[in-house]
Amino acid sequence: MQNDIQINHLYFSYDGATVLEDINLQYNTSEFLAIIGPNGGGKSTLLKMMIGLLEPERGEVLLFGEKPLHVSHEIAYVPQDTIANKDFPIKVMDVVLMGRLSKSKAFATYSKEDRAIALSMLEKVGMQGFENQKINTLSGGQRQRVFIARALACEAKIMFLDEPTASIDTAGQISMFKLLKSLNETVGIVIISHDINVALNYATKVVHINKTLFVHDVPKTQNFKVFENQNEHVCPVELISATRCNHFPKELA
């Protein structure tokens, strides 16, 4: 059986400094994959290689058996939240409709179906009723939901998100992860997250990356001990199956 994402012996360097070394990873769209690890450990680089923004020095990244750029219509990307220019009058509906550009027959012309899909995706992320509001008036968490709706409007098979809960309070982070968990019923979810606690409770697979790859399956009670001192952590990447994680922190249970 072919994996939806297959990474084989991946290497990448910046200016001669090795960032990723012999990375091997398999992923299927039924999984909720969280990529965590220290700053500079290679999280964003790995994500960029998964979506085709960077080419490997050695090794390969395959999405549905093809190079990422060959199946770009099958993936959607949600970058980190950036505050919209206050002078740029774009509405929520306009943002979500951008996800339909690749589906539209005429450039910048949206059909009734496109608009219906956009409204449906806003409802799916809990932002119905906001379609005529300007994007720069929303909170960080609301903007991220709109950007997720835009990604859903692409009707992609896998959604990649770069720290979707950055600058969002704890309650907002939990709400966001619950949303992503529900969306995973119909679309693959791959995220970079700085919040180990929340990620371990909602993702079905967690990759801890710090330059190289080590697959390690441990009970959740040991996971937090592993991350207590990342500077001394000798296992650069850990693959943790949530099926082995039975002890949830009380505040997230």
Domains in the chain: ranges and CATH? 5-244 (3.40.50.300)
Q: Which amino acid is at 77?
A: Y
Q: How many CB atoms lie within 10 A of CB 197?
A: 17
3-state SS assignment for residue 239: strand
Closest CA to 136 of 205, 203, 209, 85: 85
Spatial separation of the C-alpha atoms in residues 235 and 229, rounded to whole Å:
12
pLDDT at 61: 97
Residue written as token pair 């509405």? 91
Beta bridge partners of 249: none
pLDDT at 212: 60
pLDDT at 252: 38
pLDDT at 168: 83
Express each pLDDT in 208-231 by its tens digit: 888 765 443 334 444 444 444 444
Mean pLDDT confidence for 168-182: 89
- Of 38 and 237, the structure prediction assigns the larger pLDDT to 38
pLDDT higher than threshold 70 for residue 206: yes
pLDDT higher than threshold 90 for residue 167: no
Structure tokens at 7: 């990474």
Instruction: Answer for the pair 204, 190: CB distance below 8 angstroms, yes or no.
Output: no
Express each pLDDT in 128-138 by its tens digit: 999 999 998 89
Q: Which amino acid is at 241?
A: S
Closest CA to 99 of 57, 21, 45, 153: 153
Spatial separation of the C-alpha atoms in residues 17 and 11, rounded to whole Å:
11
The strand order across the sheet containing 17-27 reads: 17-27, 5-14, 58-63
Instruction: Answer for the pair 3, 188: CB distance below 8 angstroms, yes or no.
Output: no
pLDDT at 86: 55
Note the pTM of the prediction, 2 decimals.
Answer: 0.82
pLDDT at 253: 34
List all residues 6 or more positions away from 204 whose beta carbon is below 8 Å from its beta carbon: 31, 32, 33, 184, 241, 242, 243
Instruction: Answer for the pair 163, 195: CB distance below 8 angstroms, yes or no.
Output: no
Mean pLDDT confidence for 17-32: 92
How high does pLDDT run on average in the chain?
81
**Residue 83 per-residue DSSP state:** P
Express each pLDDT in 43-59 by its tens digit: 999 999 999 999 999 99
